[in-house]
Amino acid sequence: MLGPTEFRDLVSGRRRGLAATALRGLLGIAEVPYTFVVWIRNQRYAGRRTAVHHANVPVISVGNLTLGGTGKTPLVKWIAGRLQDLGLRVALVSRGYGAARGELNDEARELAQALPNVPHVQNRDRSAATHLAIEKYDPDIVLLDDGFQHRRLARDLDIVLLDALEPFGFDRVFPRGTLREPVAGLRRADFVCLSRADAISAMEREAIRKRVAKIAPQTAWCELAHAASQLINTDGATQPLEQLAKKRVAAFSAIGNPAGFRHTLSTTGCEVVAWREFPDHHVFTPAELKELGNTAVAAKAELILCTQKDLVKVPQEKLGNIPLWAVAIEMQFLTGQQALEQRIETIARKK
């Protein structure tokens, strides 16, 4: 089974050779029926042949055009906080991908730590989850996490994130690329936000913006940076980011796009001496955690680093007697903050 980076190396064409070419051909064949099913589904909603459910409160959706790892969670945190600042009661709704039965998944547990006063309902049927959240918690507004492809629930604001490191999924739909649907789907978006925009040049950002504007001229645009802010461990203790300067670190992640985490680490001044990737939402076994600790010891690492999404699944202060810390991320707007705030405030006034 290919890891996240290996899969991207394959579908991007970076992986060369006869075997890689043949495998891309097979994935291209599999892409055709997947894309056709997505097209049929979208056509049914566009033609109103499939019913759309309307909630009794406004709904804001934050979603992706590509497979996970675009940095939705920091934006969800920011929007929830902004809504609370406006005096609104907020409920979160998500699918709960990768969660064990009756439990919250890693993203929900991370959000619960950051937003302890915001209830979160997870259900594959986001429409049913929204109605349950309204009935149980009486929110003023529902925030739908990863909801762009969920067409059954009407929403008042559709926000789509594009990762600057991989904005258009190599222009191929899964499994040949990382698009969940063709890029024309952006026409349904109200806002397109370029995450990790600080990772590329201003010229590259402008090229992406122009392409989005050509596909979906009615959408608003914003650019986000996901900057490392501090270190945090499983007990909630924190350390300033400066602690990483010139430190030898071992790092691991189980997120959709590990390249984003690698970029974050590259901005902290640390030296990554060991690196391990796991599939998105991976649940770590005791043997894997022991192996991570042993690898860090062998590499003479001074610290072990992971994402906050990973840390909620590893309730340990140390691995292999080496301190384990997560890198906390703080979202910053580069452009478009005022426009997005105004749109959110308009929805708040509707309530």
pLDDT digits (tens, 9 = 90+) for 265-306: 999 999 999 999 999 889 999 999 999 999 999 999 999 999
Q: Where are the domains of the chain?
A: 4-46, 59-227+332-350, 228-329
The string of pLDDT tens digits covering residues 33-80 is 999 999 999 999 988 888 899 999 999 999 999 997 788 989 999 999
> What percent of the chain clears pLDDT 70, i.e. is strictly above it?
97
What distance in Å separates the CA atoms of residue 80 and residue 252, rounded to the nearest whole number? 28
What distance in Å separates the CA atoms of residue 103 and residue 16, rounded to the nearest whole number? 41
Residues in the chain: 351
Judge residue 236's burial from the number of C-beta atoms within 10 Å of its C-beta, 0-12 exposed, 13-18 middle, 19 or more buried.
Answer: exposed
Mean pLDDT score, 95-122: 78
What distance in Å separates the CA atoms of residue 284 and residue 276, rounded to the nearest whole number? 12
The rounded Cα 190 to chain-centroid distance in angstroms is 18
| Contact assessment for residue 75 and residue 193, using Cβ atoms and an 8 Å cutoff | yes
Which CATH superfamily hosts domain 59-227+332-350? P-loop containing nucleotide triphosphate hydrolases (3.40.50.300)
Beta strand 191-195 with 157-163 is parallel
What distance in Å separates the CA atoms of residue 301 and residue 249, rounded to the nearest whole number? 5
Longest dimension (CA), the chain: 61
β-partners of residue 153 are 53
pLDDT of 9 above 80: yes
| Contact assessment for residue 157 and residue 62, using Cβ atoms and an 8 Å cutoff | no
CATH of 228-329, one of 3.30.160, 1.10.10, 3.30.1380, 3.40.50: 3.40.50
Strands (E), the chain: 59-64, 90-94, 120-122, 141-145, 157-163, 191-195, 220-232, 238-240, 248-253, 271-277, 303-307, 318-319, 322-335
Give me the sign of the Cα torsion angle 165, 70, 206, 42. positive
Domains 59-227+332-350 and 228-329 alike in fold: yes
pLDDT of 8 above 90: yes
pLDDT of 100 above 80: no
Residue 299, H or E segment: none
Q: Among 61, 80, 76, which residue's Cα sits nearest to residue 154?
A: 61
